[in-house]
Amino acid sequence: MPEFACATCRTGIADRASHERMFGVRQSPAAPMTLSPTTRQRVLFLFLCFVWGTTWLAMKVGIATVPPGLFAGSRWTLAGLILLAVRKAQGEQIRVTPRLVGRLVVVAVLMVTLNQVIQLYGLKYVTAGLAAVISSALTPISLLGFSVALGQDRFSPRQLAAMAVGIAGIVMLFGPDAVAGTLDAWAMLGAAGVTIGCLCYSAGSVMALPLMRSLAPTQMAAMTNLIGGLILLSASLLFEPGALAAMGCHWGWPAFFAWLYLLLPGSVLATATYFVLVRDWGASRAGTYAFISPVIAVVLGITLFGERAGWADLAGMMLMLGGAALALKPRALVIASVARREAIPVARAP
């Protein structure tokens, strides 16, 4: 070895030794930083909370000028195609075993087709913040209910108390106007639409859990998006007023950017993230995004869209979210333990 190389080595060794003596820390060769599985899941969870807290506002912007069925059906269909293309490029499996197709179609119809068309038409008559709170508060409770119905969980006095608190929140939201005779019938119909859409989504989420013994999360998301989106898009073009004319995409920039935001973060990334969390945490625990996303929606709705919320509204929203919190067990959820016992996470994320 040349002398100058030896000198360089000796200098480097001396500097490293000096550093170790000074700071009491032994240096190790640089290694690529990797996230632990727990940290990775938490990062994915925070991403999901933010995206699904802002999608309500984007949907509100889009359906102001575009028929709701077409607006949703087109983006979910394209989202499914994008995910399938990514899996194909990575050499991952695309085909679904024939025995799973029937259940997969039911899940897609519940989580995408029915959820989106009913919820978006309801959103036309309520604020984005209220829609987010209704959906988010009902999500953990309805996930629990469907989990019980399918034998994945059990009711307890805690859950019954959660339902009572949630009902109190609904009374707080709509009771004063009902007593005063100023209750808006269209707002009630809108809230009912958001509620029914949430129930469809929760039923589909719980039914999706057994499928993930055989399907990877992105494969599940791709097929669910594509099947549900195609059914919704086809129904929109056949039956929805103004859908054929809107296919020209003369929507205006606000609606187009809202559609693009809902397509990429809202449909492609967030749905895949959700299925990863359902696989790793179980449907009920993954549904705890419900406690964070409505706060984002309400704050942005007030600051950016001038939506109003009185003290009674805020109190009702807090009660509904409190009921959702009670519906979840504090540390280990039964559904998550059932999933682990049944070895549901067989399919690994790509």
Of the candidates 269, 298, 291, the residue with the CA atom closest to the CA atom of residue 136: 291
Torsion of CA 327, 329, 330, 331, to 10 degrees: -150
pLDDT of residue 181: 62
pLDDT higher than 50, residue 3 = no
> What's the confidence (pLDDT) of residue 5?
43
Let me know if 284 is exposed, middle or buried by CB neighbors in 10 A (0-12, 13-18, 19+): buried
CA–CA gap between residue 131 and residue 294 (Å, rounded): 9
- For residue 335, which amino acid is it? I
Whether the pLDDT of residue 344 is over 60: the answer is no
Q: Name the more confident of 333 and 286.
A: 286
CA–CA dist 173, 313 (Å, integer): 5
pLDDT at 1: 45
Residue 12 is predicted with a pLDDT of: 47
Q: What is the DSSP letter of 152?
A: S
pLDDT band at 2 (very low <50, low <70, confident <90, very high): very low
The average pLDDT across 51-63 equals 89
Beta carbons of 75 and 267 less than 8 angstroms apart: yes
Provide the pLDDT for residue 20. Answer: 47
For the chain, the distance separating the N- and C-terminal CA atoms, rounded to the nearest angstrom, is 46
Average pLDDT over residues 256-280: 86
pLDDT given at position 329:
53
Instruction: Report the pLDDT averaged over residues 176-184.
Output: 65
- Which residues have a Cβ under 8 Å from the Cβ of 51 and sit 6 or more positions away? 265, 266, 269, 270
- Most confidently modeled range among 63-77, 165-179, 204-218, 285-299: 63-77
Q: Give exposure, 30-42, as e/b (b: 16+ Cβ within 10 Å).
A: eeeeeeeeeeebe
Q: Measure the CA–CA gap between 215 and 208, rounded to whole angstroms.
A: 10
pLDDT in tens, 8-52: 444 444 444 444 444 344 444 544 567 788 888 889 988 988 898
pLDDT over 70 at 227, yes or no: yes
Mean pLDDT of 311-322: 73
Task: Convert the pLDDT of each residue in 85-136 to its tens digit.
Answer: 999 998 888 888 888 999 999 999 999 999 999 999 999 998 887 787 788 7
Residue 131 · residue 54 · CB < 8 Å: no
Q: Of all helices (H) and strands (E), which one includes residue 116? A: helix 115-123
Angle between helices 185-211 and 115-123 (to 10 degrees): 160
CA dihedral 299, 302, 305, 307 (to 10 degrees): 130
Distance, in Å, from the CA atom of 250 to the CA atom of 188, rounded to the nearest integer, reads 31
DSSP 97: -
Are 338 and 281 in contact by the 8 Å Cβ rule? The answer is no
Residue 243, pLDDT above cutoff 60 = yes
Angle at 199 between CA 241 and CA 78, to 5 degrees: 50
Q: Name every residue whose Cβ is closer than 8 Å to that of residue 282 and which is 6 or more positions away in sequence.
A: 209, 333, 335, 336, 337, 338, 339
Packing angle of the helix pair 157-180, 128-149 (nearest 10 deg): 150
Which among 44-58, 153-167, 240-254 has the top mean pLDDT?
Answer: 240-254
Residue-level pLDDT at 68:
95
**Tokens 């309500």, residue?**
56
Nearest to 132 by CA among 234, 205, 57: 57
pLDDT computed for residue 65 by the predictor: 94
Going 199 to 126 to 51 to 71, the CA torsion angle's sign is positive
Tell me: pLDDT of 63 over 90.
yes
Average of pLDDT values for 207-227? 87
Q: State residue 341's pLDDT score.
A: 33
pLDDT given for residue 62 in this prediction: 94
Amino acid 328: pLDDT: 55
